[in-house]
Amino acid sequence: MKLGILLTAGVMSQSTRSALRIAEAALRKGAEVEFFLMGDGIYAVKRGKRTAAADTLAALTEKGARVALCALNAEQRGVTAGESIPGVLFGSQYDLALLIGSADRFLYFG
Amino acid sequence: MGKHVAVVIRHTPFNSERNSEALRMSVGLTTGDNRVSVVFLEDGVLTLSRLQPAVIAADDVGKHLQACQMLGIRLVADEEALRQHAVSQPAAQVEPVPFAELRRLLSDADVVIPF
Protein backbone atom coordinates (compact mmCIF):
# COMPACT_ATOMS: atom_id res chain seq x y z
CA MET A 1 0.00 0.00 0.00
CA LYS A 2 1.33 3.38 -0.98
CA LEU A 3 0.29 6.47 0.95
CA GLY A 4 0.70 9.86 -0.72
CA ILE A 5 0.67 12.98 1.44
CA LEU A 6 0.39 16.56 0.22
CA LEU A 7 1.51 18.99 2.92
CA THR A 8 1.00 22.74 2.56
CA ALA A 9 0.77 23.71 6.23
CA GLY A 10 3.54 25.47 8.12
CA VAL A 11 5.80 23.65 10.56
CA MET A 12 4.09 25.04 13.67
CA SER A 13 0.66 23.73 12.72
CA GLN A 14 -1.14 20.72 14.06
CA SER A 15 -1.72 19.62 10.44
CA THR A 16 2.01 19.13 9.98
CA ARG A 17 2.35 17.21 13.21
CA SER A 18 -0.59 15.01 12.21
CA ALA A 19 0.85 14.37 8.75
CA LEU A 20 4.18 13.30 10.22
CA ARG A 21 2.56 11.06 12.82
CA ILE A 22 0.31 9.39 10.25
CA ALA A 23 3.32 8.83 8.00
CA GLU A 24 5.22 7.28 10.88
CA ALA A 25 2.31 4.97 11.70
CA ALA A 26 1.93 3.99 8.04
CA LEU A 27 5.64 3.15 7.75
CA ARG A 28 5.38 1.07 10.91
CA LYS A 29 2.55 -0.89 9.28
CA GLY A 30 4.77 -1.56 6.27
CA ALA A 31 3.24 0.99 3.91
CA GLU A 32 5.19 2.96 1.38
CA VAL A 33 5.00 6.70 2.14
CA GLU A 34 5.70 9.61 -0.17
CA PHE A 35 5.35 13.30 0.65
CA PHE A 36 4.91 16.22 -1.69
CA LEU A 37 5.46 19.61 -0.07
CA MET A 38 4.29 22.91 -1.40
CA GLY A 39 3.40 26.33 -0.02
CA ASP A 40 4.47 26.69 3.60
CA GLY A 41 4.86 22.90 3.78
CA ILE A 42 8.26 23.54 2.18
CA TYR A 43 9.63 24.69 5.54
CA ALA A 44 9.35 21.13 6.86
CA VAL A 45 12.61 20.24 5.10
CA LYS A 46 14.56 23.18 6.51
CA ARG A 47 16.62 22.32 9.51
CA GLY A 48 16.11 24.82 12.33
CA LYS A 49 16.34 25.21 16.03
CA ARG A 50 12.74 26.04 16.79
CA THR A 51 10.77 23.11 15.46
CA ALA A 52 11.30 19.41 15.26
CA ALA A 53 9.53 18.98 11.90
CA ALA A 54 12.70 18.66 9.82
CA ASP A 55 14.27 16.22 12.25
CA THR A 56 11.10 14.12 12.27
CA LEU A 57 10.90 14.19 8.49
CA ALA A 58 14.57 13.24 8.22
CA ALA A 59 13.95 10.29 10.55
CA LEU A 60 11.02 9.22 8.36
CA THR A 61 13.19 9.32 5.24
CA GLU A 62 15.69 7.07 7.00
CA LYS A 63 12.80 4.64 7.54
CA GLY A 64 12.01 4.73 3.82
CA ALA A 65 9.69 7.68 3.29
CA ARG A 66 10.33 9.70 0.14
CA VAL A 67 10.02 13.48 0.02
CA ALA A 68 9.63 15.75 -2.99
CA LEU A 69 8.72 19.41 -3.08
CA CYS A 70 7.81 22.20 -5.45
CA ALA A 71 11.12 23.89 -6.22
CA LEU A 72 9.33 27.09 -7.23
CA ASN A 73 7.75 27.39 -3.77
CA ALA A 74 11.15 26.64 -2.19
CA GLU A 75 12.79 29.39 -4.24
CA GLN A 76 10.02 31.83 -3.24
CA ARG A 77 10.76 31.05 0.40
CA GLY A 78 14.52 31.11 0.07
CA VAL A 79 14.84 27.44 1.01
CA THR A 80 17.80 25.85 -0.74
CA ALA A 81 18.90 22.26 -1.14
CA GLY A 82 21.91 23.08 1.02
CA GLU A 83 19.66 23.88 3.99
CA SER A 84 17.42 20.89 3.45
CA ILE A 85 17.45 17.52 5.12
CA PRO A 86 19.13 14.93 2.85
CA GLY A 87 17.35 13.01 0.13
CA VAL A 88 14.71 15.59 -0.79
CA LEU A 89 13.82 15.93 -4.46
CA PHE A 90 13.48 19.58 -5.46
CA GLY A 91 10.94 18.83 -8.15
CA SER A 92 7.82 20.23 -9.74
CA GLN A 93 4.06 19.82 -9.86
CA TYR A 94 4.70 16.95 -12.26
CA ASP A 95 6.01 14.96 -9.29
CA LEU A 96 2.73 15.61 -7.48
CA ALA A 97 0.80 14.47 -10.52
CA LEU A 98 2.80 11.23 -10.61
CA LEU A 99 2.35 10.72 -6.86
CA ILE A 100 -1.41 11.07 -7.11
CA GLY A 101 -1.41 8.63 -9.99
CA SER A 102 0.57 6.00 -8.12
CA ALA A 103 -0.76 6.30 -4.55
CA ASP A 104 -3.37 3.90 -3.22
CA ARG A 105 -4.43 6.46 -0.64
CA PHE A 106 -3.84 10.19 -0.83
CA LEU A 107 -4.16 12.66 2.04
CA TYR A 108 -3.99 16.43 2.11
CA PHE A 109 -2.81 18.41 5.12
CA GLY A 110 -3.19 22.17 4.69
CA MET B 1 -6.67 7.85 -18.22
CA GLY B 2 -5.34 8.40 -14.70
CA LYS B 3 -7.32 9.44 -11.71
CA HIS B 4 -10.06 12.00 -11.36
CA VAL B 5 -8.75 14.70 -9.02
CA ALA B 6 -11.11 17.33 -7.61
CA VAL B 7 -9.48 20.47 -6.24
CA VAL B 8 -11.79 22.46 -3.97
CA ILE B 9 -11.41 26.23 -3.65
CA ARG B 10 -13.47 27.72 -0.83
CA HIS B 11 -11.56 30.73 0.45
CA THR B 12 -11.49 34.35 -0.74
CA PRO B 13 -8.94 35.09 -3.46
CA PHE B 14 -6.85 37.63 -1.56
CA ASN B 15 -4.96 37.77 1.75
CA SER B 16 -3.01 34.68 0.72
CA GLU B 17 -1.77 32.99 -2.43
CA ARG B 18 -3.78 29.89 -1.55
CA ASN B 19 -6.25 30.06 -4.47
CA SER B 20 -3.61 31.01 -6.98
CA GLU B 21 -1.51 28.06 -5.84
CA ALA B 22 -4.51 25.72 -6.00
CA LEU B 23 -5.05 26.68 -9.64
CA ARG B 24 -1.35 26.41 -10.48
CA MET B 25 -1.34 22.96 -8.89
CA SER B 26 -4.44 21.98 -10.90
CA VAL B 27 -2.63 22.91 -14.11
CA GLY B 28 0.35 20.82 -13.02
CA LEU B 29 -1.82 17.83 -12.20
CA THR B 30 -2.84 17.49 -15.85
CA THR B 31 0.75 16.54 -16.71
CA GLY B 32 0.28 13.21 -14.98
CA ASP B 33 -2.59 12.08 -17.17
CA ASN B 34 -5.08 12.94 -14.43
CA ARG B 35 -8.55 14.28 -15.13
CA VAL B 36 -8.85 17.44 -13.05
CA SER B 37 -11.90 19.35 -11.87
CA VAL B 38 -11.78 22.56 -9.90
CA VAL B 39 -14.75 23.10 -7.63
CA PHE B 40 -15.52 26.59 -6.33
CA LEU B 41 -17.51 26.63 -3.12
CA GLU B 42 -18.51 29.23 -0.51
CA ASP B 43 -16.22 32.32 -0.60
CA GLY B 44 -14.11 30.55 -3.21
CA VAL B 45 -16.52 31.68 -5.96
CA LEU B 46 -15.13 35.20 -5.49
CA THR B 47 -12.04 33.92 -7.29
CA LEU B 48 -14.23 33.98 -10.40
CA SER B 49 -14.99 37.70 -10.06
CA ARG B 50 -13.35 40.09 -12.47
CA LEU B 51 -10.39 40.81 -10.24
CA GLN B 52 -7.61 43.35 -10.59
CA PRO B 53 -4.81 41.82 -8.55
CA ALA B 54 -2.19 44.10 -10.10
CA VAL B 55 -3.64 46.98 -8.06
CA ILE B 56 -2.18 45.41 -4.92
CA ALA B 57 0.68 43.57 -6.66
CA ALA B 58 -0.98 40.21 -5.96
CA ASP B 59 -0.60 37.11 -8.09
CA ASP B 60 -2.92 37.04 -11.10
CA VAL B 61 -5.34 34.15 -10.70
CA GLY B 62 -6.78 35.02 -14.11
CA LYS B 63 -3.77 33.59 -15.93
CA HIS B 64 -4.16 30.31 -14.03
CA LEU B 65 -7.88 30.20 -14.83
CA GLN B 66 -7.04 30.70 -18.51
CA ALA B 67 -4.47 27.89 -18.37
CA CYS B 68 -7.05 25.63 -16.73
CA GLN B 69 -9.49 26.28 -19.55
CA MET B 70 -6.85 25.73 -22.23
CA LEU B 71 -5.97 22.36 -20.69
CA GLY B 72 -9.57 21.20 -20.50
CA ILE B 73 -9.86 21.33 -16.73
CA ARG B 74 -13.50 21.33 -15.73
CA LEU B 75 -14.40 24.41 -13.70
CA VAL B 76 -17.59 24.09 -11.66
CA ALA B 77 -19.12 26.35 -9.06
CA ASP B 78 -21.90 26.11 -6.55
CA GLU B 79 -24.70 28.06 -8.24
CA GLU B 80 -26.12 29.15 -4.89
CA ALA B 81 -22.73 30.54 -3.79
CA LEU B 82 -22.42 32.42 -7.10
CA ARG B 83 -25.83 33.99 -6.43
CA GLN B 84 -25.04 34.78 -2.79
CA HIS B 85 -21.78 36.47 -3.74
CA ALA B 86 -23.33 38.22 -6.76
CA VAL B 87 -20.84 36.75 -9.22
CA SER B 88 -23.09 37.14 -12.24
CA GLN B 89 -20.42 37.29 -14.95
CA PRO B 90 -17.64 34.91 -13.98
CA ALA B 91 -14.17 35.65 -15.33
CA ALA B 92 -13.88 32.11 -16.67
CA GLN B 93 -16.17 29.62 -18.35
CA VAL B 94 -17.41 27.98 -15.22
CA GLU B 95 -20.39 25.63 -14.94
CA PRO B 96 -22.83 26.77 -12.26
CA VAL B 97 -24.25 23.57 -10.76
CA PRO B 98 -26.53 22.69 -7.85
CA PHE B 99 -24.82 21.68 -4.63
CA ALA B 100 -26.20 18.14 -4.88
CA GLU B 101 -24.34 17.67 -8.15
CA LEU B 102 -21.14 19.00 -6.60
CA ARG B 103 -21.53 16.53 -3.77
CA ARG B 104 -21.86 13.74 -6.33
CA LEU B 105 -18.80 14.99 -8.24
CA LEU B 106 -16.73 15.02 -5.05
CA SER B 107 -17.84 11.59 -3.91
CA ASP B 108 -17.09 10.14 -7.35
CA ALA B 109 -13.58 11.66 -7.51
CA ASP B 110 -10.61 9.40 -6.79
CA VAL B 111 -8.79 12.18 -4.92
CA VAL B 112 -10.22 15.33 -3.36
CA ILE B 113 -7.86 18.16 -2.38
CA PRO B 114 -9.72 20.77 -0.31
CA PHE B 115 -7.13 23.49 -0.81
pLDDT digits over B58-109, tens only?
A: 888 999 999 999 999 999 999 999 999 999 888 889 999 999 999 999 999 9
In terms of residue numbers, what domain contains A23? Answer: 2-109
Ramachandran sector of residue B80 (left: φ over 0; alpha: ψ -120 to 50; beta: rest) = alpha
Q: Give the predicted TM-score (pTM) of the model.
A: 0.89
Which helix (H) or strand (E) segment is A103 a member of?
none
What is the rounded distance in angstroms from the CA atom of residue B79 to the CA atom of residue A51?
43
> Residue A49: pLDDT above 70?
no
Task: Return the domain boundaries, chain B.
Answer: 4-114
Total count of domains within chain A: 1
pLDDT given at position B1:
65
Instruction: Please compute the mean of the pLDDT values over residues B10-35 and round it to a whole number.
Output: 92
Tell me what the pLDDT averaged over chain B comes to: 93
The residue ranking higher by pLDDT, B82 or A47, is: B82
Q: Which of A28-37, A46-55, B28-37 has the lowest mean pLDDT?
A: A46-55
Domain B4-114 sits in CATH 1.20.1440.120:
no
Is B28's Cβ below 8 Å from some Cβ in A?
A: yes
Could you give the angle at the alpha carbon of A38 between the alpha carbons of A33 and A43, nearest 5°? 90
CB contact under 8 A, A110 and B115: yes
Residues of B in contact with A38 (CB under 8 A): 21, 25
> Residue A105: pLDDT above 80?
yes
The residue of chain B with its CA nearest to that of A70 is B25
pLDDT given at position B55:
85
What is the rounded distance in angstroms from the CA atom of residue B12 to the CA atom of residue B58?
13
CATH code of the domain containing A39: 3.40.1260.10
